[in-house]
Amino acid sequence: METRQAPRILIVGAGPAGLALAIELGQRDIPCLLIERNDRVGYAPRAKTTNVRTREHLRRWGIADKLRAASPLGVDYPSNIVFCTRLNGPALARIENAMYCAPGKNPLYSEHAQWIPQYSVEEVMRAHVQTLPCVELRFSTELLGFTQDDRGVVAQLKNLADGTSLEVACDYLVGADGARSTVRTAIGAKMHGTYGLSRNYNVVFRAPGLAQAHAHGPAIMYWQINGDAPSLIGPMDSGDKWFFMPTQMASDQKLNNDEAAALIRKATGLADQAIEVLSTDEWVASRLIADKYSDRRAFLIGDACHLHPPFGGYGMNMGVADGVDLGWKIAAVLQGWGGRALLDSYEQERRPVHDFVMDEAVANHSVLGNQLWQEGLEDATDAGTRLRSEVGKRIAVAKLREFNTLGVVLGYRYDGSPVIVPDGTEAPAHDFLNYVPTARPGALAPHAWLHDGSSLYDHFGRGFTLLASHDADAAVLAQAEAAARMTGVPLKVLQPQERVIKQLYEARYTLIRPDQHVAWRGDAWPVGDVLLTATGQPVASSAPQHKRTGKATPMSNDFITPFETATGDTP
């Protein structure tokens, strides 16, 4: 058996969650090994929506333009959702700019969403990973097991291509290995919730001329609402490649390629359409969440710890956000400016978000074509016309929650996190539709376009950022920088001159984390407690922060351990 001293982190699974974690670590110069049991990524092309928040992370990583260029349909392709009885039948309703995919500057976010197959997203992310010198990616490599103690983790791996085994020693191990996670089993975590909300097939097929064979115009998804084959269908890639998903399958029904092709023709009403089925991927929609996300030095992210129906396009995007949250925190600990409480905050922050988003996905799953169908909907009569109008109005209201969800995508918060300093303001109500930016600690930092055309986000540091208003006190900024040097926290001071920043953030000073969430805000610098709390380091005093003033009991320097990390943009 080969023995090899591995990098600091072993990541199991090279899907979007594992790739996101590898990028967060790699761009912070943390050596890591990323393994994938398959010989490539992107086997199951299920996810097709890269939402606004995920593309903002890609912008941070410098690859948003590369994903834009990889769009097989072009970023200007209209992200419409059409509801019809069948592709060759009458229309019922239409939702335009679903998921906020339309290009152009929106004041609420720095990047529009994108309709693109998951395998294309993975290809862009993987190519970027392979440019990071401290990240090693190995395909056809399987995790057999691991042991851990206070000093680290020792993992047993197998090369599936040649059958050789090796041992890897690392500081932390992260399971991004999906619904059947080996890491989850190894740490004794159990999935709880509801299994089998529905049984589904994702069929990928090639159909020359299908886009021209109907009169509904371009769209990213067509909901076919009929009594015998309710389904979703839409373009997925260039070369006339489409996806098809029936939403009403018998518990014992199987689909081979010929049966899938026949069902597509039946659902669309296009009996003579040429169809070449490329794959049929069976899957079960469930709402499941792990009872724990970690055990000492082993962590779970993505589908390994939460599974939810795909309606709303949250699954892949939640996995990427998991990788971001855990990535900067592990890097902080390994670089010496983060404490163990920072790692503990991963589950404390992400679990409530997962519960919130899964509830939204389940609500969307409860209103499919099966539930929207009514007898007589396809009748070519006056009564049929009236019924289609009534159903269309009901669809417009019922499906708004699935396709106009900026309140979910950008509005989630880390309320109650131990590494967030509350300011005493009241938490706004969750709203799936309306996103109202707030700089309340725990929320995503409000976005703004600066007068030079750049995004405010473009100027945030890779570590923490102290965002100061145009009229901030220079002495306070110097005080914050001194506190950062003393605590070892990488801090960038940013003072845009646009007056709208103070209006948006409702404070002179706002401390923003590497993941662009607000850690604290106030009108005076509260000594050094804020930086210690935000990075999970021991705090000398637990005196409560006064609302907005930021005042706290002075802290003894005896409780501050200076680190070698220099104050600056990059840790």
Q: Could you read off the pLDDT of 24-41 as tens digits, one per residue?
A: 999 999 999 999 999 875
Least confident of 45-49, 181-185, 330-334: 45-49
How confident is the model at residue 42, as a pLDDT?
55
- What are the domain boundaries of the chain? 2-70+112-192+289-339, 416-571
pLDDT at 141 over 80: yes
User: b or e along 294-324 (b: 16 or more beta carbons within 10 Å of the residue's beta carbon)?
Assistant: bbebbbbbbbbbbbbbbbbbbbbbbbbbbbb
Kind plus residue range of the DSSP H or E element containing 18: helix 16-26
Q: What is the pLDDT, as a whole number, of residue 6? A: 52
Q: What confidence score (pLDDT) does residue 370 get?
A: 77
Helix axes 315-334, 16-26, angle to 10 degrees: 30
Rounded to 5 degrees, φ, ψ at 105 are -85, 125
How many other CB atoms sit within 10 Å of the CB of residue 247?
A: 22
Other C-beta atoms within 10 Å of 286: how many?
Answer: 19
**Domain 2-70+112-192+289-339: homologous superfamily in CATH:** FAD/NAD(P)-binding domain (3.50.50.60)
Identify the pLDDT of residue 249: 74
Q: Closest Cα partner for 447 from 103, 16, 112?
A: 112
Residue pLDDT, tens place only, 202-250 = 899 999 999 999 999 999 999 999 998 999 999 999 999 999 999 877 7
CB count within 10 Å of CB 173 equals 27
Q: Rounded mean pLDDT of 442-447?
A: 98
Tokens matching residue 250: 């018998």
Average pLDDT, the chain: 90
List pLDDT tens digits, range 414-433.
Answer: 999 999 999 999 988 889 89
User: How many other C-beta atoms are found inside a 10 Å radius of the C-beta of residue 336?
Assistant: 13
**Alpha-carbon radius of gyration of the chain:** 25
CATH topology of 2-70+112-192+289-339 equal to that of 416-571? no
Q: What is the pLDDT of residue 489?
A: 96
Instruction: Find the mean pLDDT for residues 262-273.
Output: 96
**Is the pLDDT score of 118 beyond 50?**
yes
Q: What is the pLDDT of residue 41?
A: 59
The yes-or-no verdict on residue 400 having pLDDT over 50 is yes
pLDDT value at position 453? 96
pLDDT-derived band at 528, boundaries 50, 70, 90? low
Reported as a single tens digit per residue, the pLDDT across 335-353 is 999 999 999 999 999 999 9
What distance separates the 2 farthest-apart alpha carbons in the chain?
A: 83
According to DSSP, the residues that pair with 174 across neighbouring strands are: 11, 299
Q: By the 8 A CB rule, do 358 and 287 touch?
A: yes
Across residues 396-409, what is the average pLDDT? 91
CATH class of 416-571: alpha beta
Nearest to 82 by CA among 225, 184, 203: 225
Query: Contact, 477 vs 467, CB < 8 A?
Result: no
Residue 554 has what pLDDT? Answer: 29
Residues 6+ apart with CB under 8 A from 503: none
Residue 69 is given by DSSP the state H
Burial class (CB in 10 A: 0-12, 13-18, 19+), 436: middle
Whole-number percent of the chain with pLDDT over 70: 91
